[in-house]
Structures are given as structure tokens and as C-alpha cells.
Structure 1
Amino acid sequence: MNFEETEVLYNVYRGILRNNRSFQPGKSTAVEYRMDCPEYADLLKKYPFEKIAGKGTDLQRSIRVLKYLSPKLTHSPWYDGHVDCNALALLDYSLDKPEQGINCLNKAKILEEVCLALGIYARRVRFLPYSPFDFDCHVVTEIYDRSQEKWYMLDPTTNGYLVDEQGTILSLLEARERMADTRFVTYCKATSREKDLQKLYRKNIARTAYYAKNLFRIQVDAVSQFGESGNWLNFPPEHFSIREWSVASAEYRLEMVPAYAKGYADFDEAVQLPRMREAVKRTQSMEEPEAISAAALTEKPIS
């Protein structure tokens, strides 16, 4: 699509966000940050992240790590999760190994844990689309800069972030609110030297629209730590049922994905289809997940 056609689609996504601006009141719960996991010492001993991060603010150091990691991690949408989800195992498996790609969920986990190891508050954030028939979602890392007392979103899959008209990097929640208000937001690659943000907006409109499409609903790891906590905090819009969405999505995936995915060399039908059938059973029997107050997305982290 050309710029004009893509901008029309972007405006549709912004309209969905505008009509679903408010989140459910939810329970007051804070994300837990474990900054003292013993595995962090092994991570920093094995990989030169302290040198890569260098000195400066939490944001500056995190961006240096982002720019180092992102080009060295190949993307695979059908990665099956067979490697333990922690930075040590994932880096051993995928760093500088293009034949062994991983997905955005695991890339975000690597960046999260490296930042935590460096003493930088970080969390993994998943955001999902309005339609249950959209196979896609995305996962990024947000870091907290103590000097600015502000959250920032960094995307290790695309090696970039979202900025406003001043070039200030945004959190996902800030980007969502600006998109709902049709205020300026554009994707920016971390290595970009383009200073004309309007030009950047036109160049990256498809990527910006992609974020808008997925920013309908947000999830955050309940515990940011070494390895998986196994629990996500949910931030759904008002009058939205995660259970109904999940059932419709799982049933549709089972029906449609095999034909859709035939073009992907790394799609293993014998592995993926049993997982999809199991997902349908799980969602059909699940209860409505508890909603968490959106205040947790902006709070100062406490370890």
C-alpha cells in the first residue's frame, strides 16, 4: 500500500483506540521487580553487557544494549519455545545464529533480563489487537529511567521505539493515548539519523500503524525476574471480555492457521496443531481473567 492508503488504515486503528480509551478499573496491583537474581552475575560474566551499556542514564544505557542485541537476533514467528525462557539460555541459542530464530516474546525477555542485570528496572509488555481473528500480537520491553522518572518502550524485534513530535521516546501507554487523540507519533529506528520527524512519519507509517493495531489491550509480566514467572497482569479496555476474545481466537486459529502457515518453512504442523487444539480446550474452560488498574503501568517501580 502507498502512504495515503496506509494512513487511512492507521486512522481506523486510532479510531478503535479512541472508542476504547478507558481501561477497566481493575484491582490495584504493582509489578514486582527482582533485581537480585543470582543468575545476573553469570549473565554479565558471560556477555560484555556492562561494557556495551557504558555510562549515562538508564535510557542511554538501555538503548546501547538494544542496538547491540537487535541485529544479532533473528526473528522466527513460529519459534516453538523449546529453549528455557531466560536470557542465558536464549542468548546461547540465538545470538549471532541466524538459523536459530526466536520470536518477539523471547527477544523482549532477553532485553528485560539484561537491563535488570545492569540495575535498570525493566518489564516485558505484550499488546494485542481488537480482533480475535488477527493472528498477530507483539511483545516489547519497557525500561524505567530513574533520572526522568519515566517509562520508555524499546523494541528489540524492530530495533526502535515510538517518539512524539519532539523526538521524545514514549511508553506504550503514552503512545496509545496520543494515537487515540490523533496526536503525533512515529516509529523511529534506534540507528536512524533522520531529524525531520514528518519525513520519518511518512517513511515509517506502516510500522507506526502496526503498533496502533496491537495497542488495543496490554499485558505485563507480573514479576520481572530471571526466567518466567508464568503470570501476566491484564489491562483490558472497558466492556471487553478477554475470555470471549480468547475462545474466538483459539477456534479461528485452529481452523485457519494450517493453510495460512504453509508458506513458512519453520511451521511444523505436527507440533503446532496439537498445541492449537489444547489452546481451544483451555480457553473454553477458562474464567474471565482479573483486570488490573492501569495505574500500575505508570507507577514508579519498587523492587
Structure 2
Amino acid sequence: MDNEYLSKMTEMCKKLQACKPYTDDHFPFISKNLVDPNRSETIRRYFKENAGLDLEGIAASDLTTWEKVLKICEFVSKHICHDNQKEPLNDINAITLWEYAQRVHTGFNCRWHAILLSELLLSIDIKNHFVTCLPEDNLDQDCHVVNLVWLPEYSKWAMIDSDMEEYVTDQNGIPLSLEEMRAELVSGRKLNIHRDTNQTGLDYMQMYWAKNLYWFSMHLAYAYNLEGKDALYDTYVNLIPPQYNILEDRRYFDGMGITTNATAFWQP
């Protein structure tokens, strides 16, 4: 491992290890399934007719949930590059994002990647959130957004990232959640990262994940159109380590909830 990345990874892991344990404090936030079946049908039809993605065919196949997720993630990664978007969107959803990508071929950032993948998965009843993963340093603007998908075959969450074409597994090949990834680093173990076919950039990603698994933010609702000008209202909650103060950084606090109860935050 590159000495610079190793040094930074060690520093970031020490910050994770120094965190106080999560609590079982009261969790006053509500998670709801607000997925509109009519919108699901619209998304499936649109992507079959305009993108050649047969979501209904994938849903009806004998593939496991994880295999379906990988197939749809590969589609997003293959067709949309990582870049900072060149123009804003008032409406941010699977269809507007796909149309943007056809118009602006340089692609868009991790948040838009995660929103697109989230809505494609929801359209075939694969439960998922898109989650913002943040560093301890409030002045560090370099966070990351990925998807967390529920795998009923394993009764657990798994992280998937179409922006980086990446996921992480244990030694038996079982995909890990963000919570499990954080626990691996706290225990002093390196992450078993799977990227694109040539597995480039693994040293950097070890350091990157050690930095960006300090605290988390996500919408609790399962729904379409969670962001944008006319976003559907729902509960947006931050999971922080006990005694960590994010109040100084208003970007992630105004109108949002805060909890130190990881079990409740990561509930299915």
C-alpha cells in the first residue's frame, strides 16, 4: 500500500476507533414506504423504450436480489461517467437524470448516480436508500453518496456504488453494509473492495472509506422524487457518533434530525 495512503488511512481509522459507542437513545423518526406503483410502472416502461433496460425482465428472472442489483448498477456505470454536473435540474429523478446524461455526455456526480440507481431499484421493489457518507472534519467538502440495498436472502443491507463501480464483501464473498464496513475499519482490518475489472485505485479507496464513514445522512422514506425543486417531504436523519457536534456545520443540520442510535437508523 502506498505510504501516503497508508498514513492517511491509519489516521482516519484512529478517529473511528476513538468514537464513543453508539447508543440506544429514543429514535423519534418514522420510516415510511411511499413508493407510487404508477410511477414504478412509468419508470419501467420509460427505460425499456428509451434506454433498452428491461427492468421487468430483470425482476422476473431467477437472479438473486444482489445479482439484480449488480446488473442494474452495471447498466448505470456503463452509460454514465463520474463528473460534476454542468447544469442544475429542478426535478431530480430517474427519468430527468437519464435525459440529462443523454444531453450532457460527461456524466454527473455520486449523488445523482445514487438517486438514479435508487429509483431504478425501487421500480422493481428492491428496497434501498441513497446515503451520504461524511468525514469527521466539517471543513472537508469531499463526502460520498452511495446506495444501501436490502437483501432478503441474507436479511441484511449491502452497499453498492454505481459512481465508483464498487462494492465491499467479507472473506466469504457476502456484500457488506456501510455499518459493517465501518466496523471492519474500527477492528483494524482492510476492506475487501471490488471495483471495475482492473481493480484500480484500491489503496486510495481504503483511505477514502476510512475518512468518509465517520457519520451518515439519509432520507428515511422509500420513495421517488426525494430531492429537487418539488421534492417529496420526508424525514432526513443524521447518524453521528456520541459527543460529535455537527451543529457548527449548518449545511447538514437545518430541518434535519440527529441520532446516535445506529440500530434504529439502519433498521430495514
So what's the TM-score if we normalise by structure 2?
A: 0.84
**One-letter amino acid matched to 2:130:** R
CA spacing shift, 1:158–1:105, aligned 2, 3 Å:
same
CA distance in 1, matches of 2:26, 2:102: 39
Matched with 1:116 is: 122
Matched with 2:12 is: 13
So what's the TM-score if we normalise by structure 1?
A: 0.75
Counterpart among 95, 101, 104 of residue 94 in structure 1: 101
Matched with 1:158 is: 164
Q: Is it true that 1:74 corresponds to 2:81 in the alignment? A: yes
1:217-256 matches, cutoff 5 A? 217-228=215-226, 229-230=232-233, 231-244=235-248, 246-247=249-250
Q: Is it true that 1:212 corresponds to 2:210 in the alignment? A: yes
CA spacing shift, 1:287–1:142, aligned 2, 3 Å:
closer
Counterpart among 255, 260, 264 of residue 296 in structure 1: 264
2:258 is paired with a residue whose SS is coil
Counterpart among 132, 141, 154 of residue 126 in structure 1: 132
CA deviation string 1:86-108 (max 9, x = no partner): 11111121158424x32211111
Give the fraction of aligned pairs with identical amino acids, expressed as a percent: 22
Say if 1:79 and 1:103, in contact at 8 Å, map to a contact too. no
Matched with 1:3 is: 2
1 or 2, which has the higher helix percentage? 1
CA deviation string 1:203-243 (max 9, x = no partner): 61211211111110011212121101454211011101221
CA distance in 1, matches of 2:247, 2:87: 24
1:152 is paired with a residue whose SS is strand
Say if 2:111 and 2:144, in contact at 8 Å, map to a contact too. yes
Say if 2:237 and 2:256, in contact at 8 Å, map to a contact too. no
Matched with 1:255 is: none
Say if 1:104 and 1:139, in contact at 8 Å, map to a contact too. yes
Say if 1:37 and 1:226, in contact at 8 Å, map to a contact too. no
Matched with 2:68 is: 61
**One-letter amino acid matched to 1:125:** V
CA spacing shift, 1:7–1:16, aligned 2, 3 Å:
same
Displacement of 1:57: 1.5
Greater mean alpha carbon deviation, residues 106-115 or residues 225-234: 225-234
Displacement of 1:172: 0.3
Displacement of 1:79: 5.2
CA distance in 2, matches of 1:79, 1:151: 33
2:126 is paired with a residue whose SS is coil
Matched with 1:106 is: 112
CA spacing shift, 1:151–1:288, aligned 2, 3 Å:
closer
**Superposition RMSD on alpha carbons, in Å?**
2.6
Matched with 1:177 is: 183
Question: Which ranges of structure 1 fall in alignment gaps of 5 or more residues?
Answer: 195-199, 248-278
CA spacing shift, 1:27–1:108, aligned 2, 3 Å:
farther
Say if 1:24 and 1:236, in contact at 8 Å, map to a contact too. no
CA distance in 2, matches of 1:81, 1:174: 34
Say if 1:66 and 1:156, in contact at 8 Å, map to a contact too. yes
**One-letter amino acid matched to 2:148:** E
Displacement of 1:183: 2.0
CA distance in 2, matches of 1:26, 1:113: 31
Matched with 2:50 is: none
Displacement of 1:168: 2.4
CA spacing shift, 1:35–1:292, aligned 2, 3 Å:
farther
1:206 is paired with a residue whose SS is helix
Greater mean alpha carbon deviation, residues 150-159 or residues 41-50: 41-50
